[in-house]
Chain A
Amino acid sequence: MVAGRRGDAHLKNGKQLKILALPAFVWLGALFVLPMLMITALSFMKRGTYGQVVYEFTLNNYARMIDPLYIQIFFDTFLVAVLTTAISLVCAYPMAYYISRMDRSAQKIWLLLVMIPFWINFLVRSYAWVIILRSQGVINTFLLSTGLIQEPLPLLYNFGSVMVGMVYTLLPFMVLPIYVSLEQLDRRKLEAAYDLGATPWKTFWHVTLPLTKSGVITGSILVFVSSIGMFVVPDVMGGAKSALMGNVIQNQFLSARDWPFGSALSIVLMLLSMVLIYLYYRAVNAAEAKEGTA
């Protein structure tokens, strides 16, 4: 009924509401769509000897990617992104659930705590992790002084430290949308499930999770997309060995001065992410449909 009422309001004021969207529309048009078109065009150009762009059509930038080196980096990038999304989801859902069950004033404090990291510069936070994890860092110093270890543990500049940094950075993007969908969930629907004989676990599986699906999808896409393009974390915490696509693209634009190749890499990365998001979306919906009829 509520949805119906909202729908009516939109229909009546459709024209006026369009005006509200205009500033964002202009902004996106000028600062997102146009650059995207430029990047697309650039990806079919040639690089001159001194790094300038030569305006001649070529497919060479795309052909260059069919190289085990780049394929490996694409693979690593998607692996890190998928793992980051999965770990964030597993950590964020219980946390969001816990927050949504507290009383109002406590919820506000907890949401504030979730968002506080955003107030500190991202680069500074990444270096804080370096201080914690490096061989003379907080953890190693402590473990050495207790005598539990003799040699410092290699906690930094590996796959694990990249994952730690990624999940740490992106977790709030998962918590917030899931919290919102849990907050909107009508508790009587859960009581109805208990009433019909569902245990708390079954209630979660058959009612709570499907009804908060939108939050899970939104959070997953936010985290996945952000980790696909991430270059600060692998740069600062991953060291030389763990270059991800974000770092390669950054290099093409800044160090190698090969803008056409960097553009081509960006386009392929974007297309691949879209395919993956689409597959994820379909998988979630298919799981739900199966759930309903099972």
Chain B
Amino acid sequence: MKTMINLESIEKHFSGSVVVPPLSLSIQEGEFLTLLGPSGCGKTTLLRMIAGFEQPTAGEIYLDGKALTSIPPYQRDMNMVFQQYALFPHMNVEQNILFGLKMKKVEAAEQQRRLEEVLQYTQLVELRKRTPKQLSGGQQQRVAIARAIVNNPKVLLLDEPLGALDYQLRKSLQLELKNLQKNLGITFIYVTHDQEEAMAMSDRIAVMNKGRIEQIATPAEIYNHPKTLFVATFIGENNIFRSGDASIAVRPEKIKIYPKDSELDKHRKNGTITDMVFLGNMSKLFIRLESEEMTVLAHEYATESRGWQAGDQVAIGWSQADEVMLT
């Protein structure tokens, strides 16, 4: 595997304040990498620096070994799918898709060939003469992707491309995007604040907070072995137990519930169930501990329900193997 994108000590300051402190990152060819973090964490700024819409204050970006900083966005061999798509309203679907090929003066016959291919691929053949206004959100999204991939870019940048769509559509498009990426073999850099989306699609996730990458790893690694408190609480639900300086995290599905006072030790504490939330396949139990000021969240799956009720006195426990030490 070769490195497709390499960021070397990239920094970005906006009017004196540091948005991205020095940051290095390399992305492999054909990889699906997600930049995940809350709004304002610098993920979009990072993506815009890669695209060339923002200049890094310091550092260098390499695309396939070539330094990019002095190259304007219109000469970079990558394309972007914008938030809200930014389709050209005065052009129809075909004209939108052909725009990039025309700008690069691709030969006319080749333009047509690629257009047909990408229309087929994104199922836009019947909509080819429509203007963006005459399309639904999901269809506009497909045009935005078609307009980008028709250029055969080395890297596709996606800035919250599913953010404007409703939940059901987003779910099905996640799968489509993942398959698209696998079939095309293009490197994807995907920005989102939605951890579920990141988990579903990525080869690796870079969790960002305050301009820094807190952890970069596979979705499973991020979920099972979060390194920092931020990652442990941002991705999924977690119970954080503090003793002195050390914090440990235990996932709610790893918390077991026993009758009160059974074999208490370091991993077993007494408490009272204060609330229960029924979610169909499982219930969420909120347990107020006796020994410390803390409410623990536990998941109990419907198939193994023991009929606990709000107000019950219980003991909670977990096995040592399910603890994660945080730094």
Contacts and interface: CB of A to CB of B under 8 A. Distances in A.
Interface of A: 1, 3-4, 186, 188-189, 191-199, 202-203, 206-207, 210-211, 288, 292-293
B147 interface: yes
Nearest to A210: B90
**Residue from A191, A197, A203 having most chain B Cβ neighbours under 10 A:** A197
Interface string B6-50: 000000000000000000000000000000000000000000000
B296 interface: no
Given A3-B133, A191-B73, A292-B91, A197 B104 contact: yes
A104 to B, nearest CB: 15
B72 A192 contact: no
B84 A196 contact: no
A210 B99 CA distance: 14
Contacts of A196: 74, 79, 99-100, 103, 147-148, 151
Contacts of A4: 133
Nearest to B51: A195
Sort A-B residue pairs by CB-CB distance and give the 5 closest, nearest first: A196-B100, A197-B103, A188-B86, A192-B86, A194-B73
Contacts of A202: 103
Contacts of A186: 86
A210 B198 CA distance: 38
B74 to A, nearest CB: 5
Nearest to A207: B88
Given A189-B88, A193-B88, A211-B89, 5 more contacts: A188-B84, A194-B74, A195-B73, A196-B103, A211-B90
21 contacts: A4-B133, A188-B84, A188-B86, A189-B88, A189-B89, A191-B53, A191-B80, A192-B88, A194-B53, A195-B74, A195-B79, A196-B103, A196-B147, A196-B148, A196-B151, A197-B103, A198-B99, A199-B74, A202-B103, A203-B74, A292-B92
Contacts of A203: 74
Contact of A189 (B72, B79, B86, B104): B86
Interface in B254-283: none
B95 interface: yes
Given A191-B53, A211-B89, A211-B90, A197 B151 contact: yes
Nearest to B53: A191
B88 A197 contact: no
A206 B151 CA distance: 18
Interface in B144-171: 147-148, 151
B82 interface: yes
B89 to A, nearest CB: 7
A285 to B, nearest CB: 11
A284 B178 CA distance: 43
B166 to A, nearest CB: 13
Nearest to B95: A292
Nearest to B100: A196
A1 B52 CA distance: 28
